[in-house]
Amino acid sequence: MKMTRFAQRFSKKTGILELMDDLGQAMDGRTEMRMLGGGNPAHIPEVNEVWRRRMREILANGAEFEETLANYDTPQGKHAFLESLANLFNKEFGWNITSKNVAVTNGSQTAFFLLLNLLSGTRVDGGMNRVLFPLCPEYIGYADQSVEEGALVSLPASIELTRKNFFKYHVDFDNLHIGPDISALCVSRPTNPTGNVLTDEEVRHLTSIAGRNDIPLIIDNAYGAPFPNILFKDVKPYWDDHVILTMSLSKLGLPSVRTGIVVADEAVIEAVSACNAVISLASGTVGQVLVRPLIDSGDILRLSHEVIQPFYKERSILAVESMQEAFGEDIPYRLHEAEGALFLWLWLPELPITSAQLYERLKDRGVLVVSGHYFFYGLDDPWDHADQCLRLSYAQDPVKFKEAALIMADEVRRVMDEKAGGRWR
């Protein structure tokens, strides 16, 4: 095969490829792993029963079954689904949008491939557009999305030590400068990988900066409100003409239906729809038909607020307790304040090896995590902090998480002891 530059860029080993490969092998049951890597949502029985009920309803309704499987939709999405979403957002948040402000993609990962390449890269005048991530570390899945190298840049977060063994990242607004090459800002809320939730004030500040510079602020809302609402802080969803809001059905428990949602200015929606037509013809219909009645009835809000959010809140508390018990008082460690999403973010400030090396050692012991270095991309200068962090998912069985925490702590003690020549312990 004679490799093109595109082939070289998108077929190389990347963090998201490693993550999804590990996830797939662990979830297929052929390997015995304690799965703390990946972002697969938990299988919540009450949620799964809702999808079983909807599938039975679709199968019993011949017209709806054929609508789900046998027809193409428009490149923008199924019109009834777009209308339902616009009505929900207007009713709940007073956004005053129409179906023309909403598009569906084959998963939010696809949405970001389209958005990041629409907004970054070489302009028609020969100049360069870049998307800035103002809160690094940021989601691993953005890192390799741009077709052109150097199109994504990041600003290191500031670190607040909040209490013993805990910390929190903040946007370093004092060093946030928007040059003429910056064409968009992008954040996830809650943040993947850290579980950080940007405050309403921080979001308004970022939106104000975007507005003054006439660029969009992209907010990845895959874990946020109103669904799936995996938020442990009281914050409000935000949208205005300078915001591109992305959402997903994945963390509702539907990762396999690959349904991403974009809420944006009509011009952005038209561009996304045009790209969809070229790349996919249309987006998949299954997720849209499956979920639309819950949007119309408001049950999607009840399910998110009363079932999904409390489930993950409890898992979060149990995971923190497991880490505290396993790591004890002798290992220098900090956890990011758990404010949302499915993850704990572990910082080992005195780790004598890299997080990538620790990942390999833990994998050999039957524990899958994600090395933190993958989440630090687009930085002007190296940051030692990037090699001291791990992302840990607590979505799966708490018993397995506790086992994994004990193995992680034991392995870190071994590493520290090796570095100290057997004298650390």
140: how many CB neighbours lie within 10 A of its CB? 25
Write the CB contacts of 261 (distance below 8 Å, at least 6 apart in sequence): 85, 102, 103, 104, 105, 108, 111, 246, 247, 248, 249
For helices 45-60 and 62-69, angle between their N-to-C axes, nearest 10 degrees = 110
Of 142-146, 269-273, 405-409, least confident by mean pLDDT is 142-146
Same fold across 5-47+303-419 and 73-297: no
- C-alpha triplet 367, 141, 402: angle, nearest 5°: 25
Q: Which helix (H) or strand (E) holds 278?
A: helix 266-280
Output the pTM of the full model.
Answer: 0.92
Query: Residues of 67-99 as b/e, b for ≥16 C-beta within 10 angstroms?
Result: bbeeeebebbbbebbbbbbbebbeeeeebebeb
The SS3 assignment for 46 reads helix
Of 33-37, 167-171, 343-347, least confident by mean pLDDT is 33-37
Tokens of 60: 């019993």
Tokens of 4: 């093109």
pLDDT band at 248 (very low <50, low <70, confident <90, very high): very high
- pLDDT surpassing 60 at residue 155: yes
Residue 417's pLDDT is 87
pLDDT band at 25 (very low <50, low <70, confident <90, very high): low
pLDDT band at 83 (very low <50, low <70, confident <90, very high): very high
15 contacts 143 by C-beta, under 8 angstroms = yes
- In sequence order, the β-bridge partners of residue 133 are 154
13: how many CB neighbours lie within 10 A of its CB? 7
pLDDT band at 162 (very low <50, low <70, confident <90, very high): very high
- pLDDT surpassing 80 at residue 43: yes
Q: What mean pLDDT is predicted for residues 126-147?
A: 93
- Residue 150's φ and ψ, nearest 5 degrees, are 80, 10
> Over the stretch 139-150, which tens digit does the pLDDT of each residue have?
999 988 888 888
Tokens of 304: 């998110």
The SS3 assignment for 239 reads coil
Instruction: Spell out the domain ranges in the chain.
Output: 5-47+303-419, 73-297
Q: For residues 256 and 185, give the distance between their C-alpha atoms in angstroms, rounded to a whole number.
A: 29
Return the CATH number of 5-47+303-419, one of 1.10.20.60, 3.40.640.10, 3.40.630.10, 3.90.1150.10. Answer: 3.90.1150.10
pLDDT band at 38 (very low <50, low <70, confident <90, very high): confident
DSSP structural state of residue 304: I
317: how many CB neighbours lie within 10 A of its CB? 14
Q: For residues 363 and 153, give the distance between their C-alpha atoms in angstroms, rounded to a whole number.
A: 30
- pLDDT surpassing 70 at residue 385: yes
Q: Which of 391, 413, 401, 393 is nearest to 323 (CA)?
A: 401
CATH 3.40.50.150 fits 73-297, yes or no: no
For helices 286-297 and 45-60, angle between their N-to-C axes, nearest 10 degrees = 110
> Over the stretch 280-324, which tens digit does the pLDDT of each residue have?
988 999 999 999 999 999 999 999 999 999 999 999 999 999 999
Q: What mean pLDDT is predicted for residues 376-396?
A: 95
From residue 82, alpha-carbon distances to 69, 77, 98, 165, 291 in Å are: 18, 7, 8, 45, 12
Handedness of CA 362, 159, 166, 304 (dihedral sign): negative
Q: For residues 381 and 156, give the distance between their C-alpha atoms in angstroms, rounded to a whole number.
A: 10
